[in-house]
Structure 1
Amino acid sequence: MPPDVIVNGKFLRAPMTGVHRVAYEICNALADLEAAQAPQLRGRRFEVWHSRDGGDAARSLSLATRQIGPFDSIPWEQLTLPARQGRPVLLSLCNVGPMLAGNAVTMIHDAQVMLSPRSYTFAFRAWYRVVQTVLGRRNRALLTVSDFSRGQLARAGLAPLERIHTVHNGVDHVLRVAADPAAVTRLALAGESYVLALATTQEHKNIAVLLRAFARPELAGVKLVLFGSATREAFVAEGHAVPPGVVFAGRVSDGELRALMEGACALAFPSTTEGFGLPPLEAMLLGTPAVCAPCGALPEVCGAAALYADPHDDAAWAGVLAGLAADGDRRAALGAAGRDRAGQFTWRRAALRLLEVLDGLEPGRSEGS
């Protein structure tokens, strides 16, 4: 029996990113709803279709999967999927989808390619702009991850506001992974006062303001730990001065990241624009305060449970972070508020919201049909 909704499984062939995590988690939340025979499914069957090179990762999904060919990568997504689709709705969750498919819904997470073009290569920008423009015109609906992104995508002309629907991310995946202290031990951080942040040179992630803040005397006794692929040399090559108290953790496992978050006095997230912002919410759910720039979707997502600092003011960042590092009571209070706020964002809720959108596209569908 063919599925009612085909999920574009191209994400299964690539290393895990924040966008890919959303696809994994929504698929598994839908599988949980299927197992519980949730009435909100209204009889829908979901199946993830993937190419040959996504077969290994497909085994990590609880949702039904199917390998189809021919081709891999972009040709598979743009040619094989629409050619084999048939009548089911095609759901793409990672910013792009087949341009030839009309009976389709695509999740476009943000408008960063348009808002911060210097964060991306010319080829990447050109491809996304072409594909997303076509999808906005041909798809039955677009999804995005925040009301902020919904407004940005509408203003960019991808689709009218009424055809763009917000499905907030979940964050409860961090509770399913046991903390692994390996990175804390390797970096000699046990008992140290440190702030955690992303290691990325993308312009809109704005790590430069943290580098300047940690060169200031207020943070002399606090380390800045950067996790991710960017190295000290990469920041220097971009013209940034890297203070001596900055530690590069490199790529870490989910368990290592949980341990780093739980040991930090704060997670710093100074992005000048953000479609959602998973890391601060992950830290908040683990009881670690988040300090963010008041930009993009960050105030919408983190609310009053996070602290905020001007994205261009290194003195403001130094003051807020130094104050948190020195005040355990305030960290505890913010940690409790953060847990409450982040606990509202679950993958089950995201999957149920997705089903609501699909119901709106098929108003005549009856329960169990």
Structure 2
Amino acid sequence: MSTRTLANAIDTLTGQDNFVYNGRFTGQKATGVQRVARELIVAMTQLPEIDHVTVAVPPGDKILPVDGAQTRKIGFGRGLFWEQVILPIFAGRRRIVNLSNSGSIFRPRQVIFMHDAAVFDTPAHFSLRFRAWYRIMFWILARTSSCILTNSDFSRQRLAHHCRVPASRIGVVPLGSDHLDTIESDDNVLGEHGLNSNQFVLAVSNLNPTKNFARIVEAFQRVNDSSLDLVIVGMKNPIFGEIDDISNVAPNIKYVGYVSDSKLKALYQHARCFVYPSIYEGFGIPPLEAMKNGCPTLVASAAALPEVCGDASLYCDPYSSDDIADKLKSLLYTSELRADLRRRGHLHASKYRWQTSAKILLTELEKL
């Protein structure tokens, strides 16, 4: 099939739309970046200014469609090859919107959402191949894209520094925290893992070394309370390389892996507190999820977390297991502090709505 025929195919699929959304993420596990792309598109489809949104996806049977959007399987191939080569051909004259950190380096005038500058700032925590590719891709896309977006002022400044572009070229679209609101919590998760309500500390993230799980475990052990469990929710990912095993440290430290949103919501609602001493964070959705679901939070005074969490969280030094342990004790054994953070956290997290994020995104797209 010729290039002109391929371009005509996407013209037929999308009508007079100016944009086509890169849907490669629809075939991937829903971790942070994938969740952001999905929630932003869902929220975009609900804006009264938007008639419809077209998401182009690779062929295959493992695609999870985006609610409200028109999903179109196009071309052939999958993964990086599909994103870099096939999607740009099929997009024709339409501008590609890439919301999950990556886009084709062969296509100018795109929209690229870069979630953080971690591959530059914390390179040792990524595999060599992943780190090299993302550095090259970000550097190129920062120069060829019509619109560069990120999720916090912290990320904007770091990306501008490393990609050597003016910070004014990068727009900020804060993320949302209300994606679990319509989901019914599944309390069965407590029985599945032998947990008692209000008797466990919760930690949620992918198992990236920057998330600081080793110090979380050390701090929890220093609390030295056998009546409490530490529950770690997260998915291992080979792009971060090998990390220390955290599943067999102690009987009351429980690594439960990836859980559904309904079970995650139940864990937030039944945890005594949530701990997130991440060394590096471009935004940080899990603390806002915890706040939104009534769970008081302890987070690191590092990277974008103070910007995102404001005065609604307790803060700790992420490089000190002693400080994490001390702050954790304060949160665990001071009911007044937990109640105050629970109240402030819910009010604060309620400001972060995906509809608001979508409106800001639409404003950025309209500038084009």
Query: TM-score over 0.5 for the alignment?
Result: yes
State the TM-score, normalized to the length of structure 2: 0.90
2:137 matched residue in structure 1: 131
Paired letter, 1:286: N
1:163 to 159, 169, 179: 169
Q: Distance in 2 between matches of 1:243 and 1:109?
A: 35
1:52 matched residue in structure 2: 59
1:64-91 per-position Cα deviation (integer Å, ceiling 9, x unaligned): 2211102211111111111122222210
Larger CA deviation: 19-28 vs 193-202: 193-202
Aligned-pair identity in percent equals 35
1:144 to 147, 150, 157: 150
Report whether the alignment pairs 1:209 with 2:215.
yes
In the alignment, structure 2 segments of 5+ residues that lack a partner are: 1-14
Q: Distance in 1 between matches of 2:63 and 2:207?
A: 31
- Kindly state the Cα deviation for residue 360 of structure 1 after the two structures are TM-superposed: 2.2
Q: Distance in 2 between matches of 1:294 and 1:8?
A: 34
2:41 to 10, 18, 27: 27
CA contact (8 A) 2:52 2:69 kept: no
Report whether the alignment pairs 1:228 with 2:224.
no
The 3-state SS of whatever aligns with 2:72 is strand
- Kindly state the Cα deviation for residue 228 of structure 1 after the two structures are TM-superposed: 1.7
CA contact (8 A) 1:218 1:319 kept: no
- Kindly state the Cα deviation for residue 243 of structure 1 after the two structures are TM-superposed: 4.1
Paired letter, 2:27: R
Larger CA deviation: 290-299 vs 153-162: 153-162
CA contact (8 A) 2:219 2:324 kept: yes
Q: Distance in 2 between matches of 1:306 and 1:241?
A: 30
Q: Distance in 2 between matches of 1:80 and 1:93?
A: 17
2:341 matched residue in structure 1: 334
Q: Distance in 2 between matches of 1:265 and 1:335?
A: 10
1:309 matched residue in structure 2: 316
2:27 matched residue in structure 1: 13
Report whether the alignment pairs 1:66 with 2:72.
yes
1:95-124 per-position Cα deviation (integer Å, ceiling 9, x unaligned): 110111112110000011111112211111
Paired letter, 2:43: A
2:268 matched residue in structure 1: 261
The 3-state SS of whatever aligns with 2:337 is helix
- Kindly state the Cα deviation for residue 53 of structure 1 after the two structures are TM-superposed: 2.4
1:195 to 177, 185, 201: 201
Paired letter, 1:169: L
RMSD: 2.1
Q: Distance in 2 between matches of 1:185 and 1:299?
A: 35
2:117 matched residue in structure 1: 111
- Kindly state the Cα deviation for residue 45 of structure 1 after the two structures are TM-superposed: 5.0
CA contact (8 A) 1:287 1:338 kept: yes
Report whether the alignment pairs 1:359 with 2:366.
yes
Residues 73/169 of structure 1: CA separation in 2 closer, same or farther (3 Å cut): same
1:3 matched residue in structure 2: 17
CA contact (8 A) 2:209 2:243 kept: no
CA contact (8 A) 1:132 1:158 kept: no
Paired letter, 1:30: M
2:299 to 292, 301, 307: 292
Aligned length: 350
- Kindly state the Cα deviation for residue 242 of structure 1 after the two structures are TM-superposed: 2.8
Paired letter, 1:117: P
CA contact (8 A) 1:150 1:166 kept: yes
Larger CA deviation: 294-303 vs 179-188: 179-188
1:145-171 per-position Cα deviation (integer Å, ceiling 9, x unaligned): 111100000010253212111001111
In the alignment, structure 1 segments of 5+ residues that lack a partner are: 362-369
- Kindly state the Cα deviation for residue 312 of structure 1 after the two structures are TM-superposed: 1.5
- Kindly state the Cα deviation for residue 207 of structure 1 after the two structures are TM-superposed: 1.2
Paired letter, 1:228: G
Residues 30/206 of structure 1: CA separation in 2 closer, same or farther (3 Å cut): same
State the TM-score, normalized to the length of structure 1: 0.89
- Kindly state the Cα deviation for residue 245 of structure 1 after the two structures are TM-superposed: 2.7
1:30-76 per-position Cα deviation (integer Å, ceiling 9, x unaligned): 1111xxx33xx5xx753111111266412x42112211102211111
Q: Distance in 2 between matches of 1:356 and 1:340?
A: 26
2:282 matched residue in structure 1: 275
1:87 matched residue in structure 2: 93
1:310-349 per-position Cα deviation (integer Å, ceiling 9, x unaligned): 1122222222222222222321221110011000001100
1:364 matched residue in structure 2: none
Q: Distance in 1 between matches of 2:181 and 2:311?
A: 22
Paired letter, 1:182: N
- Kindly state the Cα deviation for residue 220 of structure 1 after the two structures are TM-superposed: 4.5
Paired letter, 2:33: V
1:365 matched residue in structure 2: none
